[in-house]
Structure 1
Amino acid sequence: MLHQSVAKSFQDRFNHSPLLVRAPGRVNLIGEHTDYNGGFVMPAAIDKEIYFAVGLNGTTTARLYSYDLDQSYETELAEVTRDKTMWANYLKGVVAQFQKRGLTVPGFDCVFGGNVPIGAGLSSSAAVECGLAFALDHLMGTNLDRMELAHMAQKAEHEFAGVKSGLMDQFASLFGRSEHVIMLDCRSLDYEYLPFDTSVCGIVLCNTGVKHSLASSEYNLRRQECEQGVAILQQYYPEVASLRDATLEQLNAHREELGDVVYRRCMYVVQENFRVEAARQHLNDGDLAAFGQEMYASHAGLRDDYEVSCQELDVLVQIAKAQPGVYGSRMMGGGFGGCTINLVAIEHIESFVQKATEEYKRYLGLELETYQTTITGGVDILQPEIVK
């Protein structure tokens, strides 16, 4: 078991017993690029996870080890700064957030490793941030609540990884509940759990295997374009604090002033918020077919108006649409690569995976990696078994 290997690696390397923490990645059924616009999202924590073995070491140094990369890193905790070791930046960013709250982080040892595919849009970075934040909170006895830890992990991403992400990824990793998706209002942070039975309808992720270099620069650009749209609308409608408050009528009334690109970006976000609210109703009604239609519409908006899709994602959605037993499919995550998320009737999963793999190879000459996932609980402590 991976968590046992991580714990054993810790003991072999540091010669003391760790606290063992599990931090899940996440999927998002619908509501893409809405989180930083104060809108609605529908994520769930999944059984692709990162395991942390962490223990205090009685020094003023953090000794970090990436099990997956077989790389070590040390830093004096009084001088935590960003540098070129990207994986360590995520962890150091978390330390910095404790320090900003006036909390002294004692020296600690950390080994982490997992099975969240990197670059697949399953928020491996949020799992890394949340796992360490949760472990340090426990070891330091600071008793911060999960929402506070989510904000700290998000700030770590902003300040040490340079990605201005919304709160959804960190929230989903910390607040996940088995067999439930979460409807999160990213402005008020109100949330509700909606039952989702993965024994009837499976979640299958299809990884394009590509990550176009545009991804992070375009992500930050989309954010700016949305803010630009809000600034224009606010001149006429002071109540529009974010695109969450904007209406289609308002956008259409100022289409010329917004300009084609900003208009389409804003239009997508406003419509996507409607789709998430409709999707909640479909889920409550047990209508997976209607839910799936919202997913297809979401993908079309991401492709045509928000322009964050790519050929590989579009081909996978097209393939899925033609398969029996598929309720819905769309790109998931920031875009320009990563995964599509597909809701597939359990009895059709095997044939869907086979067909999608064949067709992807036929269309684009690319190998397809797929993951069947179940919905799990959020970050928690595992009792480390004694590893000999």
Structure 2
Amino acid sequence: MSASLAQAVAANFHQHFGYEPLLVRAPGRVNLIGEHTDYNGGFVLPAAVDKEAVFAVGLNQGAQIRLVAHDLGETLELANAAEISPSDTHWANYLLGVAAQFQQRGVAVPGFDCVFAGTVPLGAGMSSSAAIECGLAFALNRLLGAGFETMELARIAQLAEHTYAGVMCGIMDQFASLFGRDAHVVRLDCRSLEYEYFPFDTQACRIVLCNSGVKHSLASSEYNTRRQECERGVSVLQQHHPEVVSLRDATMEMLEAHRSELGGTVYRRCAYVVQENTRVEAACQHLIDGDLAAFGQEMYGSHAGLRDDYEVSCAELDVLVEAARAAPGVFGARMMGGGFGGCTINLVAPDKVDAFIESVGKAYEEKFGLKLETYQTTIVDGVGVVAK
């Protein structure tokens, strides 16, 4: 973590409020494989990364909530912590929503002060919003002695995003920020919320994100359509297999048997989800075996499925993945996130990162005339107190 960022946030807190705060860091996340599986009751494989938010938080012995967005140079004050409601200040809602969730669980939230700043790139699909929610949830839980378990903090952060930011996200982002572990990825079962850690050799591999810089307007409407197509597939399968509650329960044999009834499009959507769950499980075994090359092949398979069967990729993402495949020292690459823009995630040998960035950047600029923005990250621990 950037010690200088923590120092700047602490100094800003002292300047504004004049007492000693609790310092907390909350990481952003990447998802190595397992895309569009979360709302189908499947598996995801996220990790917390070293792009993060840092918070200084303290109880001010009064009734006011005073928030400072250090990076923006903006502040928000609320006269009475007992009367929290959504604000016109967008960034503040991620924090106010968390405090409101504590109140809904019967925790009296007194006046508190918070200064925060971050290095999670906005709009890159690394969950800057989850980092903000989880950091404050962790800090308030500690300061108020509320005693919430870590999974409950993830739910608090998720519901803050639903209710105050108006984004109906799954729980993966908040889960990854809170449950991340240094040099490990974590497989989350999105149905049961059971999870398991798998080793990831951070010495053998860097995670490089390539930001396409595009966000096609299709993203939100097509996301809803995909959910409906998956639900349609489940309803067809249920008529023959009552045990199929979600696509998590489906098999390729079932899909083949009812292919004509499903129709071409719904069949392809369902096939992608069933195969992606299988890829996540295979990828975890590759990590146990220490086989990053085999892990990378699962990533390429994931991208092909997202491109051809789920149809949520776009030309920019496809060019980035093909350019990565041609670059030296790359284990694997795929699009990450909802699709139609955003980032690709690439696993690259540390000594080849500079050459990778140069060659992929050149290919991208030649094709689209756009400068490529990249972020190098590594896997770190989840939310925690910053050591003084």
| Pair in the same fold by TM > 0.5 | yes
Q: Could you tell me how far apart the structure 1 residues matched to 2:158 and 2:325 are?
A: 34
Q: Answer yes or no: is the 8 Å Cα contact 2:316–2:341 preserved in 1.
A: yes
Distance of 1:289 and 1:56 partners within structure 2: 49
- Range with bigger deviation, 7-16 or 39-48: 7-16
Give the Å deviation of 1:217. 4.1
Indicate the residue corresponding to 1:114 in structure 2. 118
Q: CA separation in 2, counterparts of 1:165 and 1:319?
A: 31
What CA distance in whole angstroms lies between the structure 1 residues aligned with 2:119 and 2:174? 17
- For residues 298 and 342 of structure 1, the distance between their equivalents in structure 2, rounded to whole angstroms, comes to 13
Q: Is residue 2:209 matched to residue 1:196?
A: no
Tell me the residue number matched to 1:288. Answer: 292
Trace 1:130-141 onto structure 2 (pairs within 5 A): 130-141=134-145
CA shift, 1:328, in A, is: 0.5
Question: How far off is 1:140 after superposition?
Answer: 0.6
Q: Does 1:14 align with 2:17?
A: yes
Find 1:326's aligned residue among 323, 330, 333: 330
- Pairwise CA distance, 1:301: 1.3
3-state secondary structure, aligned to 2:122: coil
1:13 corresponds to which letter in structure 2?
H
Residue in structure 2 matched with residue 163 of structure 1 by the alignment: 167
The Cα of 1:207 is off from its aligned counterpart by 1.3
The separation in 2 between residues aligned to 1:59 and 1:288, in whole angstroms, is: 53
Change (3 A) 1:221 1:85: farther
Distance apart, 1:176 and its partner CA: 0.8
Does the CA-based 8 Å contact 1:230-1:240 persist in structure 2? Answer: yes
Q: Deviations over 1:62-109 (max 9, x none)?
A: 221211222222334333333443212211221221122121211111
- Aligned-residue offset at 1:297: 0.9
1:224 to 1:342, Cα distance in 2 relative to 1, 3 A: same
Residue 334 and residue 74 in structure 1: after superposition, are their counterparts in 2 closer, same or farther (change >3 A)?
farther
1:31 is aligned, of 22, 25, 34, to 34
8 Å contact kept, 2:286–2:292: yes
Structure 2 gap segments, 5+ residues each: none
Instruction: State the distance in 1 between where 2:215 and 2:89 align.
Output: 20
Shift of 1:265: 2.2
Shift of residue 256, structure 1, vs aligned partner: 3.8
1:325-377, CA deviations, whole angstroms, 9 ceiling, x for partnerless residues?
11100011222222111111222212111111111111111111111111100
Number of residue equivalences: 384
Write out per-residue CA displacement over residues 213-249 of structure 1, whole angstroms, 9 at most, x where no aligned residue. Answer: 3334433443333233323322332211211111122
Answering whether residue 261 of structure 2 is matched by residue 252 of structure 1, we say: no
Find the counterpart in structure 2 of residue 100 from structure 1.
104
**Is 1:41 the equivalent of 2:40?**
no
- Please give the root-mean-square deviation of Cα atoms over the aligned residues, in Å: 1.7
Superposition map of 1:251-330 within 5 A: 251-330=255-334
Q: What is the TM-score normalised by the length of structure 2?
A: 0.94
TM-score, length-normalised on structure 1? Answer: 0.94
Counterpart-to-counterpart distance in 2, 1:136 and 1:222 = 37
